[in-house]
Structure 1
Amino acid sequence: MLILSLISDIKTYKIKNNIVYPFILAGLITNIYLDGLDGLMYSVKGIIIPIILLIVLFILRMLGAGDIKLFSAIGSIMGFEFTMYSIMYSFLAGGAIALLLIIFRKNGIKRLVYLFQYIKSCFLIKSILPYTSFEDKSDGAKFRFAFAVVGGVGINLYLILNT
């Protein structure tokens, strides 16, 4: 699922529903089969909690809906706790990727100016604005977050398997 999502994100800047929905369903069916009602709750918490936690980032246009659905698919299969750690490690990986891109693209000052203008605009109009437009791929600020999700899940699995 992660590889398919990454390929989709690379090609289209979107993680397609036809990739994540079958895995959400597979997680539900598998966990219900293995643990009955407890398995259902295990998957449902894993699906819903990422949506609740990450919806603000979607509203601000800082995270795409496909990324959130990908975390929900992970949650459906692996449960709430695994998914929360994966989200945390994914954001750390995303921060590292963003820092490397800023260094490589040499646009750190431009990005800071944009951030401060965004914050200033929000205060002036007393409303939270979308941070960026997903449609504008040329502003030097975006990267495919599926890379960070793959990294975050990988870190999480590594730590689980080596503790």
Structure 2
Amino acid sequence: MPSTITISILLGARLGLLAGFLLAAVITDTAARKIPNKLVLGGLAVAFLCQGLFFGGSGLLDGAKGMGLGFVLFLPLYLLRAMGAGDVKLMAMVGAFTGMQDIVGIVLFTFVAGGVLSLAFALKLKSLHRLINNMKYLTLAGMSKVAAGKMPVNDFPVNSIGTLPYAWAITLGTAGYFVWRSL
């Protein structure tokens, strides 16, 4: 049975590797507005290697559950065209590293970080009014479609203020969650 200190070192190493992959995603997403599949697949391979080495079969299962839940929680935003596929795959990779017990908290912290970053982005571009109008329109249009029994997909493009490299939000949300959890 590994000691508490050994477990802490292993968890720290796993989170350090995750931080490296997230940093690489931030750099590529900022530069090219794309998160390469090679980066995500490499991250998944390392995540499952860590899970298997550190925790055995139960770690592999927990990593698979975390990956699936991270993917499922972000998939609706991709289907609604509010997020890119790379962001969904990146959150699945985060879930593979962290497991099922942490991914819901990480997703919630990521949404908060994304909201704060969106507000900062809108303020920087002096487009806060347009952002608020877009949110009202998308919310009302989506609710009316759901009420009519349809998918809440936006048929008409809104006057976007730009795109946000969401790897930033995923990275800040993940880090924020672990800081909060350690308090």
Aligned position for 1:157: 178
Q: Which runs of 5+ in 2 are unaligned?
A: 1-20
Distance 1:72 1:2 in 2: 12
Aligned position for 2:96: 76
Q: Name the CA shift for 1:119/1:75 in 2 (closer, same or farther; >3 Å).
A: closer
C-alpha distance after superposition, 1:116-148 (max 9, x if no partner):
444555537954224887xxxx93242111111
Q: Could you say which structure has the larger radius of gyration? A: 2
Distance 1:65 1:145 in 2: 11
1:33 to partner: Cα distance: 2.6
Secondary structure at 2:81 match in 1: coil
Aligned position for 2:83: 63
1:30 to partner: Cα distance: 2.1
Aligned position for 1:115: 135
- Matched-pair identity in %: 21
Aligned position for 1:129: 153
Amino acid at match of 2:153: L
Aligned length: 159
1:49 to partner: Cα distance: 0.4
2:65 to 45, 49, 61: 45
Compute the TM-score of the two structures, normalised by the length of structure 2: 0.75
Q: Which runs of 5+ in 1 are unaligned?
A: none
Backbone CA RMSD of aligned residues = 2.5
- Where relative contact order (Cα < 8 A, 6+ residues apart) is larger, the structure is 1
Aligned position for 1:25: 45
